[in-house]
Structure 1
Amino acid sequence: MATRVLIGALRKTTSRLPTCRFLSVSPVSRFASTLVIAEHEGGSIKAPSLSAVEAAKSLDKDNSISMLLAGSGHSLQEAAANAVSCHPSVSKVLVADSDRFIHPLAEPWAKLIQLVQQRENFSHIVVASGSFGKNILPRAAALLDVSPVTDVIGISESTTFVRPIYAGNALCTVRYTGAHPCMLTIRSTSFQVQPYSTDSKAHKAPISQVDLSTFEEADTIGKSQYVKLTSQDSERPDLGNSRIVVTGGRGLKSAENFKMLEKLAEKLGAAVGATRAAVDAGFVPNDLQVGQTGKIVAPELYMAFGVSGAIQHLAGMRDSKVIVAVNRDADAPIFQVADYGLVGDLFEVIPELLEKLPEKK
């Protein structure tokens, strides 16, 4: 039974979401020029930052897009070398080389964005809506005295955006009427990077070093301090970008039982997620949390085991192409959004799947 549900789920994609629209007169905007604040690691531009570039494309057909990288050392230089050809829409790469930007602390990064904006006068500043962007953009917006538009999932015009409200249960179309720059955080799952031709890959944007001689950080010292970065070593795909996500809820009852889910994820080549309840119970670390207060995911297949379907969790995964839910409670809210629902004991269903699924090569 469980195996048939999984196979059937791979054949179906649907999407449902009510929409609430607040209509407004389309404004006339000046020529768009956008700064994308990019996050990099190990010399590579992270996928959400490429999605931010994709979102910037929608602001104006003649939009000039610059990408800002900051950090220090070989990793930054390698990231800059990759950034020049990472996306055909990037027209310039700005590089701020300083030890002050090695760690993504909000204070120095916000001052950097303010400095770059004062010199370049961009019409828009865009960053992916992850922990990096959510940490930095609000402080930068305060320094520039503008109000940011957050969690954008659609762009109609250069100042008209679609964003979810009520924990993702409705969509709201809003119009930005403030001063420049218009600052946005975008959900990377809503702006998938389109494949581009081999000729486009030959495109290389020029690199420009940011002059930091006037950079002032006296008022940022002591307000925050980098302590350490803790991460789990795993061969599984990244939760935010995986094609398949297997999520467990409080119904798994213990951290030990979560290992069953991890074995299933290994067989499927999937990422492991968890509900806030499972994280709060200490079953798994909070970097696996999916939901409004966790990570937003939109995989091709989302499998939820022992997940009740709290509204804050649904906000983080309801854009998944196919949703499969397994729960003992036939009235669980998760079944209202699931494409395939199986009322059953997950402690019987998961072992059955583990037995019948072939090993991942």
Structure 2
Amino acid sequence: MPDVLVLVDHDGERVHKSTYELLAAARRLGDPAAVVVGAPGTAARLKESLARQGATSVYAAESAEAGEFLVTPAVDALELAVREAPPAAVLVSATTDGREVAARLAARLDSGLLIDAVDLDSSGVVTQIVFGGSYTVRSQVTHGVPVITVRPGAFEPEEHPGEVAERALTLPATDPAASARITARRAAPAGDRPGLTEAAVVVSGGRGVGAADGFKVVEELADALGGAVGASRAAVDAGYYPHQFQVGQTGKSVSPQLYIALGISGAIQHLAGMQTSKTIVAVNKDPEAPILDLADYGVVGDLFAVAPQLTQEVAARRAVG
């Protein structure tokens, strides 16, 4: 079977869950081949976990300067892998960086590009949610090697252990004049909650939360469920919660097993970022809120009355089970 290239998203020590989802998607088209871009030794640290999740080969695209530039080294690595042995497709996670990598790669290869896929079949036909979530379409690349970005959470990781071959790619020197160099790094505040795009449960708050202090009820419910906290653009713009937690068309796209929306009316921009969630629960005191039409379960009521009761019930059931 032909290879399907998967760009590995990692922090140097750990492979992110979105990559395991890509490997599961890649198996529908061929043999998953993971492309690791990083400092020397990175691929060796990640190879075992990639093999456990089904990678049949690992391309090690390593250099001392790979982590000093944005996007360009990843594009270079994928282009080299494609030129070496044309794959059935290239899969990249639909993150901010991933979309840019995919677009640049497609331009270099003169290939078709499909973004934000939520499903993929064995013939290469991709399902997408487009125009802010208004339409579901099925598309297929008809020119060149398909380059596809996949929405985090769209596929379930599947352990598929086997032997893995390692191949080396020699990255070219990056032209500083044509690439964005990273001049400084600042660690984001870390907590015990899972990452927003990797969480199985996401609890989001909107304008209805009323104030930054009001997000305490959102956080308490998320912690009771072992989930991540999200926010609507209205809540972020109002200063209730940090921007990096925004869910929606101009924020992060999520597709968890359970999405709980507290005080979110359901503007189409927000729905575009979460409507592929497996189960959606909405709490809103406005019975005409658009999100109630999308929700699997809707509660018309005050979130400050409903959410604490739900948190208490979840905590009680966990205590006995």
Normalised to the residue count of structure 1, the TM-score between the two structures is 0.80
SS of 1:153 mapped into structure 2: strand
1:71 Cα deviation after fit:
0.6
1:293 aligns with 2:245: no
- Corresponding residue number in structure 1 for 2:57: 92
Cα contact 1:71–1:103 (8 A) shared by 2: no
Report % sequence identity. 33
1:312 Cα deviation after fit:
1.5
- Corresponding residue number in structure 1 for 2:9: 39
Q: Choose the corresponding residue for 2:304, options 316, 337, 347.
A: 347
Give the partner amino acid of 2:109: L
- Corresponding residue number in structure 1 for 2:218: 261
Cα contact 2:35–2:77 (8 A) shared by 1: no
- Corresponding residue number in structure 1 for 2:99: 134
Counterparts in 2 of 1:317 and 1:104: CA distance versus 1, 3 Å = farther
Give the partner amino acid of 1:223: S
1:66 aligns with 2:22: no
Q: Structure 1 CA distance, aligned partners of 2:257 and 2:86?
A: 39
Q: Structure 2 CA distance, aligned partners of 1:130 and 1:146?
A: 20
Cα contact 2:70–2:180 (8 A) shared by 1: yes
1:53 aligns with 2:30: no
Q: Structure 2 CA distance, aligned partners of 1:77 and 1:32?
A: 24
Cα contact 2:151–2:254 (8 A) shared by 1: no
Cα contact 2:69–2:181 (8 A) shared by 1: no
Q: Deviations over 1:148-173 (max 9, x none)?
A: 11112222344422211222232111
What is the alpha-carbon root mean square deviation over aligned residues? 2.2
- Corresponding residue number in structure 1 for 2:152: 188
Q: Structure 2 CA distance, aligned partners of 1:324 and 1:65?
A: 35
- Corresponding residue number in structure 2 for 1:207: 166
1:65 Cα deviation after fit:
2.7
Q: Choose the corresponding residue for 1:277, options 189, 214, 234.
A: 234
Counterparts in 2 of 1:300 and 1:102: CA distance versus 1, 3 Å = same
Give the partner amino acid of 2:27: K
Q: Choose the corresponding residue for 1:101, options 47, 52, 66.
A: 66
- Structure 1 portions without partners, runs of 5+: 1-30
**More displaced, 319-328 or 332-341?**
319-328
- Of structures 1 and 2, the larger Rg is shown by 1
Q: Structure 2 CA distance, aligned partners of 1:329 and 1:314?
A: 17
Normalised to the residue count of structure 2, the TM-score between the two structures is 0.90
Q: Deviations over 1:262-302 (max 9, x none)?
A: 12222222211111111122221222111222222222322
Cα contact 2:133–2:272 (8 A) shared by 1: yes
Q: Structure 2 CA distance, aligned partners of 1:138 and 1:313?
A: 24
- Structure 2 portions without partners, runs of 5+: none
1:319 aligns with 2:276: yes
Counterparts in 2 of 1:68 and 1:53: CA distance versus 1, 3 Å = same
1:91 Cα deviation after fit:
1.9
Cα contact 2:80–2:169 (8 A) shared by 1: no
Cα contact 1:244–1:302 (8 A) shared by 2: yes
Provide the aligned length of Structure 1 versus Structure 2.
Answer: 317
Q: Structure 1 CA distance, aligned partners of 2:280 and 2:88?
A: 39
